[in-house]
Amino acid sequence: MQSPEFHTMLPREGERMARREYQNPPLKKSKGKRPFWYIRYRRKVLIGKGQIERAQKQQSLGYCDEVGVREAQRQREEILRQINREVYTIQSHIPFREFSTIWKEKHVPTLGAGTKKKYLSHLNNHILPTFGGFKLCDVGTEEIQVFLNAKETDGLAWWTRSDLRNILSSIFTKADDWGYWKERNPVERADLGRKRPKREKRLLTDEQFLKLLERIPPFVGLICRTADSTGLRISEILGLKWKNVDLLTGWLQIRERYYRGDQDVTKSEKSAREFPWVRWLTISGG
């Protein structure tokens, strides 16, 4: 639903309101004990109900005792080159929270049950509390990097932060596909840092595995032996049906998966595969 104080700008509507504008503001020097170089340029913003306001933005280029005039001029030219070569897309001023609702309605239903649940949880618990008050155009690479760094400080695992990065990337990719975004995906250069597992990965020896099988219920043991011998995902094992087992040819077909009450086709087309079940039955001692 649209919030009463903000009118959602559809892509085509925003394109009609956009126009190319050439700007050439001079390089300026601030006053005070430690002056700095800066420029001012105009920016169009959507202030609500389809109304556009021209706001002035000041961009700092560095302190004068650290950045020379030639370097400041070079930075000025680069910034103006980016501003003047774009057709300003006002639809990118849609609130991030509002576009995330569009993303949830259009894209999330295309995901698998497990991915869908995980993404919605991360969106509500981590992403929206941070970016919900932003406009889409105000979420840049720097803001995303600060967000990911903070999540690492909070103790989130590398894989969880990778999921958060993937969700943000998906949001901006779909914004581009649907006409709300015309620039480079700001997530592309956001870094997750070095991958550090939170828990040590341990492989059971054959003796330890046999002792485990002695202490668990038989049906759980069957699942463990199947997983150990075949490398199937747990969702694929739980999705197996007798119709997928060919006793005459000795082949096992992987066609479905089961995840928390949801029975569906495999995770991907490549996941639908076949292999000889006689082999793993013999290895597992069946």
Residue 58: Cβ within 10 Å count: 11
159 is a domain residue: yes
Which tokens sit at 171? 């949001």
Shared domain for 81 and 111, answered yes or no, is no
* Residue 281 pLDDT exceeds 80: no
What would the mean pLDDT of 150-163 be, rounded to a whole number? 93
Shared domain for 25 and 78, answered yes or no, is yes
239 is a domain residue: yes
106 is a domain residue: yes
Q: Would you say 91 and 9 are in contact if contact means Cβ atoms under 8 Å apart? A: yes
Question: 10-14, 156-160, 259-263, 271-275 — which is least confidently predicted?
Answer: 10-14
More confident residue, 280 or 21: 21
Give the pLDDT of residue 282: 46
Burial (CB < 10 A; 0-12, 13-18, 19+), residue 62, is: middle
Give the pLDDT of residue 260: 67
213 is a domain residue: yes
Which of 138-152, 248-262, 264-278 has maximum average pLDDT?
138-152
* Residue 18 pLDDT exceeds 50: no
Q: What would the pLDDT profile of 32-74 be if each residue is shown by its tens digit?
A: 999 999 999 887 665 554 455 677 888 999 999 999 999 999 9
What are 227-235's contacts with CB under 8 Å, separation 24+? 228/284, 229/279, 229/280, 229/283, 229/284, 230/275, 230/280, 233/257, 233/267, 233/271, 235/114, 235/259, 235/267
187 is a domain residue: no
- Helices marked H in the chain: 11-17, 69-84, 96-106, 113-122, 128-131, 141-153, 158-177, 206-214, 218-230, 234-238, 277-283
**pLDDT level of residue 107 (50, 70, 90 thresholds):** very high
Look at residues 54, 88, 122 and tell me which one is the last residue of a structural domain: 88
Look at residues 52, 68, 88 and tell me which one is the last residue of a structural domain: 88
CATH code of the domain containing 108: 1.10.150
Shared domain for 27 and 67, answered yes or no, is yes
Q: Would you say 127 and 164 are in contact if contact means Cβ atoms under 8 Å apart? A: yes
Give the pLDDT of residue 27: 94
Alpha carbon distance 244, 255 (integer Å): 7
Shared domain for 118 and 171, answered yes or no, is yes
What domain range is 105 assigned to? 96-177
194 is a domain residue: no
Burial (CB < 10 A; 0-12, 13-18, 19+), residue 285, is: exposed
Give the pLDDT of residue 20: 54
Give the pLDDT of residue 3: 41
Indicate if the alpha-carbon torsion angle 111, 112, 113, 117 is positive or negative: negative
Shared domain for 111 and 78, answered yes or no, is no
Which tokens sit at 201? 């990965």
Shared domain for 106 and 168, answered yes or no, is yes
Domain count, the chain: 3
Torsion of CA 68, 72, 73, 74, to 10 degrees: 100
Shared domain for 83 and 107, answered yes or no, is no
Alpha carbon distance 157, 198 (integer Å): 6
**pLDDT level of residue 94 (50, 70, 90 thresholds):** confident
Q: Would you say 198 and 252 are in contact if contact means Cβ atoms under 8 Å apart? A: no
Shared domain for 123 and 72, answered yes or no, is no
